[in-house]
Amino acid sequence: MKLAGKTIVVTGVSSGIGGESARLLRERGARVVGIDRNEPTISLDGFVQADLSRTEAIDEAVRALPERIDALANVAGVPGTAPADLVARVNYLGLRHLTQAVLGRMPQGGSIVNVASILGAEWPARLEAHKALAATRSFEAGLEHLARHPVAQDSCYQYFKEALIVWTFTQSQPWFLRHGVRMNCVAPGPVMTPILGDFVTMLGQERVSKDAHRMKRPALADEIAPVIAFLCSEDSRWVSGINLPVDGGLASTYV
């Protein structure tokens, strides 16, 4: 993969998929700057501690980032066991605010990779609602929209992963045409990360047991990271506006 010399920002860098992505990107020659609310446990070329649920913290973090950013991997997220407002802020509104803020620092050929989820696959059922949220122009406008159209706690994780996929679809081509910057999603299934237990709690043991036969096992974080690295690299320079399942075939079993 063509990554040598690139400066790549990875959020959620202190554990799980974010940590493995950062490690792999550095191994392949990229300069990696991490963002997380927790201190990293791996070597990085730079680190900014930030709470991605607050615009002030995001804006402060952006001021500390390099002037040129070749790729942004939006990996940070909270599980659906967190309050719905926090899920909205971190998994969607904060991600969008950060991405919009760094877009101007990205050159032609830049790449944005958003980590969605297999749980976002039902986005067509709520397409118009997600397009309406995507049309809000700011973090604050998004909060106001959600205050008028509240999302239930028990479906908030799924809802905002769906919303992320739809935002990526609707925003990717305008940015690609105007700025030459690509944006894509990857959609992992269950992954062996520190928050896997939260997902079992969120979905319920009955559904987990019911779906267990559909897959060989949960993924390992280092099986997701190479796909993120590929989408950050020049080898994927004509891939834009997709949602790529990385789930060991789980999505195919629902057809």
Three-state DSSP state, 138: coil
**Rounded distance between C-alpha atoms, residue 153 and residue 157, angstroms:** 8
Catalytic residue among 92, 157, 159, 254: 157
Contact 98, 76 (CB under 8 A): no
Sheet containing 46-49, strands listed edge to edge, beginning at the edge strand earlier in sequence: 46-49, 31-36, 7-11, 71-74, 111-115, 182-188, 243-246
**Rounded distance between C-alpha atoms, residue 223 and residue 86, angstroms:** 28
Q: How far is CA 231 from CA 106, 118, 248, 251, in A?
A: 15, 18, 18, 20
Distance of alpha carbon 140 from the chain centroid:
20
Buried b (16+ CB within 10 A) or exposed e, 115-141: bbbbbbbebeebeebbeebbebeebee
**254 is annotated as an active-site residue:** no
**Rounded distance between C-alpha atoms, residue 127 and residue 120, angstroms:** 11
Parallel/antiparallel/unpaired status of strands 46-49 and 182-188: unpaired
Token digits of residue 219: 């993924």
**Rounded distance between C-alpha atoms, residue 209 and residue 204, angstroms:** 9
The DSSP symbol for 17 reads H
Active site residues: 157
